[in-house]
Homo-oligomer: A and B are copies of this chain.
Amino acid sequence: MLTALQTDLASVVEGVNLVWVLTVTFLIFFMHAGFAMLEAGQVRAKNVANQLTKNLLTWSIGVIVFFLLGAAVSSIVAGVTGGPSTTITSAFMGLYAPDAAATTAWVDWLFGAVFAMTAATIVSGAVAGRARLRAYLTYTIFIAGVIYPVVVGVTWAGGFLGGLGFHDFAGGMIVHGMGGIAGLTAAWLIGPRMNRFNADGSANVIPGHSITFAVLGTLILAFGWYGFNVGTAAAPLAYADGAVTLGSFAYVGRVALVTTLGMAAGAIGAGGVAMYKTGKVDTLYVANGLLAGLVGVTAIADDIVWPGALVVGLLAGMQLPIVFEFVEKRLRIDDVCAVFPVHGSAGILGALLYPVFAMPVWHGGASVVSLAIPQIVGVGVIAIWTFAATAAIFGAFRAVGQARVSADHERQGLDTAEHGVDTYPEFGSPDTDTGIRADGSGIPHGDGFMTTGKED
């Protein structure tokens, strides 16, 4: 009878954990709508449908590729690089796996898939307005099938970075950092939109068509991010040797708190820098700063205390305007939706600050240096791999002149050229020669602003 009750408890634990994992998985899926709106709002009206189509197809193509290939690649890479040989899930489980096992395995697969698709979809924001759809979708197949799975294989799935002690709680580096680096690399190879930079190297602004959609996307992302971070404390309950304990939920309150304070501090950090430099609070800096704050704490949300979250979030927000200007003015890369400052550098920052803010009490007092080495190695390996793989694919497309649309198509807009649609057929004729005035001169990028920097 007691044994029967213990079996009951195991069922209860499995049921509760499934309810949680499914709920947060749905929230993370909804981040896709957030990315769609965030990016759509930050591109020209003539390129909105293209951005939305990329979003829909990144999910649709990517999730099938990740099912048929990516998940298995993760497992194989983990095994090959010295980790424990993990079970190959997804398509390779076969068709008729016993119900209960299939439930756990396939729910776990979907939980992994929504993280993979987050990484994949970040890239489209960087290359908006000129990347050729076929080149982009080919890259989607690679990032979902190989590039991201390799990163997961060497880290979470148990590969050599995992063995080394690389710490990334919910994907600040593994998901967002790699997505941001991939986006920057792709934007660099594809080249800037026409009129984005002048012959003398100075930058023009090509403001997005709707700040409203961008902020809506920001808030949808923040909503889904609670699933992303808090949900990563994956199992409310643990069952072992006949006893139930509070599983990884023992620290879930800390993760929820740290996520909240990180995003708040990020918005304040970015908005504060803008205010300091211009006397005005650029809405897009506040919105993207909130996201940078979230990225900043994502890798370390399980191991920092709340003052750490405030500091990391603030730094992640403050670096946004600085890195955005650096990418534009020094690197002269046209990262349309600021995906590198938001996801890339903020993700790297969070991962590298881990040794500073991780609480010794949760680590047996490991030294800062011993914590720092795996973080530095991990960030470096992920960055180099992501850069190299992305550069290889977009470099190949570029070599054969297929990385970007023709100048004519870019001028008329990708919506017409690639999709045959007009996103807003009733709202006037958007200016097609974006970035230049009627007299042909460029519109300078508002100094200290993410966008126009309109004067009173």
Contact = CB atoms under 8 A, between A and B. Distances in A.
Interface of A: 1-2, 4-9, 11-16, 18-20, 22-23, 25-27, 29-30, 32-33, 36-37, 40, 44-45, 48-50, 52-53, 55-57, 59-61, 63-64, 67, 91, 95-96, 99-100, 102-107, 109-110, 113, 133, 207-213, 215-216, 218-220, 222-223, 226-227, 230, 236-237, 242-247, 249-254, 256-257, 260-261, 263-268, 271, 278, 280-284, 286-287, 290, 305-307, 310, 359, 361, 408-409, 412, 415-428, 430-431, 446, 449, 451-456
A385 to B, nearest CB: 26
Among A18, A113, A415, A453, chain B packs the most CB atoms within 10 A around the CB of A18
Going nearest first, the 7 A-B pairs with the smallest beta carbon separation are A106-B253, A103-B253, A33-B219, A8-B244, A60-B267, A15-B236, A60-B264
Nearest to A231: B22
A111 B216 CA distance: 22
A431 B422 CA distance: 15
Contact of A286 (B56, B102, B430, B453): B56
Among A23, A251, A284, A425, chain B packs the most CB atoms within 10 A around the CB of A425
Contact of A223 (B14, B20, B33, B237): B33
Nearest to A208: B425
Contacts of A55: 215
Contacts of A257: 67, 106, 109-110
A253 B223 contact: no
Contacts of A30: 219, 223
B64 A421 contact: no
A49 B11 contact: no
A103 B255 CA distance: 9
A172 to B, nearest CB: 19
A216 to B, nearest CB: 6
Contact of A290 (B56, B268, B290): B56
A237 B11 contact: yes
B236 A281 contact: no
A270 to B, nearest CB: 10
A91 B306 contact: yes
